[in-house]
């Protein structure tokens, strides 16, 4: 990996997926990594997706939703045929993905976790997700994100 490479960019590059990196200044006083990223890049919040780690019936599951929404845990559980979902402890989420909070990417995680992306992604020409560290977003086509993560799409984000 080069100095600028992350596991997410390596994963995308391995498949020859076309993507664009967008670095931005991180505001350490910020409260919401995703909305801060959207605002710093001047991108609509509906186009920037955050990666959240939940446990559905005790199994780690990734929910990817626009930063303008909240992850609907019941909808996430239903999407994967589960009964109950809770947010994963942040320290456990970091350990299982290999990324730090605010920089968790849906791509290049330590172990492939089942992933559900909010269905709104399919209406967008491109989508932004963390490229694997705070201050770096990756822009790619929604279908490429779905393919790379082997994700299901379902309505899992609520306003």
Q: Which domain holds residue 55?
A: 7-26+44-157
Is 39 a member of any domain?
Answer: no
Is 34 a member of any domain?
Answer: no
What is the number of other CB atoms lying within 10 angstroms of the CB of residue 43? 19
Is 67 a member of any domain?
Answer: yes
Mean pLDDT, consecutive 10-residue segments, the chain of 159 residues? 78 92 83 87 96 97 97 98 97 95 94 96 97 95 97 96
Whole-number pLDDT of residue 32:
80
Is 31 a member of any domain?
Answer: no
Kindly report the CATH number assigned to the domain that includes residue 74. Answer: 3.90.960.10
What pTM was computed for the model? 0.93
DSSP string, 115-157: EEEEGGGGG-S-EEEEEEETTEEEEE-HHHHHHHHT-EEE--E
Is 36 a member of any domain?
Answer: no
Is 2 a member of any domain?
Answer: no
Whole-number pLDDT of residue 31:
67
What is the number of other CB atoms lying within 10 angstroms of the CB of residue 158? 13
For residues 3 and 156, give the distance between their C-alpha atoms in angstroms, rounded to a whole number.
35
Whole-number pLDDT of residue 1:
46
Whole-number pLDDT of residue 2:
47
Is 139 a member of any domain?
Answer: yes
Is 124 a member of any domain?
Answer: yes
Whole-number pLDDT of residue 30:
61
Query: What is the number of structural domains in the chain?
Result: 1
Whole-number pLDDT of residue 137:
96
């Amino acid at each position: 990996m080069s100095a600028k490479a992350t596991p997410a960019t390596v994963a995308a590059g391995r498949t020859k997926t076309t993507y664009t990196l967008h670095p931005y200044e991180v505001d350490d006083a910020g409260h919401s990594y995703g909305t801060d990223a959207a605002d710093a890049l001047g991108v609509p919040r509906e186009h920037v997706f955050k990666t959240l780690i939940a446990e559905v019936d005790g199994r780690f599951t990734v929910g990817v939703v626009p930063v303008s929404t909240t992850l609907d845990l019941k909808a996430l559980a239903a999407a994967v045929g589960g009964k109950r979902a809770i947010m994963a402890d942040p320290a456990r989420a970091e350990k299982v993905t290999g990324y730090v909070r605010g920089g968790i990417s849906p791509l290049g995680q330590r172990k492939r976790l089942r992933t559900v992306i909010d269905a709104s992604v399919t209406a967008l020409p491109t989508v932004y997700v963390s490229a694997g560290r705070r201050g770096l977003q990756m822009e790619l086509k929604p279908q490429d994100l779905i393919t790379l993560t082997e994700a299901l799409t379902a309505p899992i984000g609520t306003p």
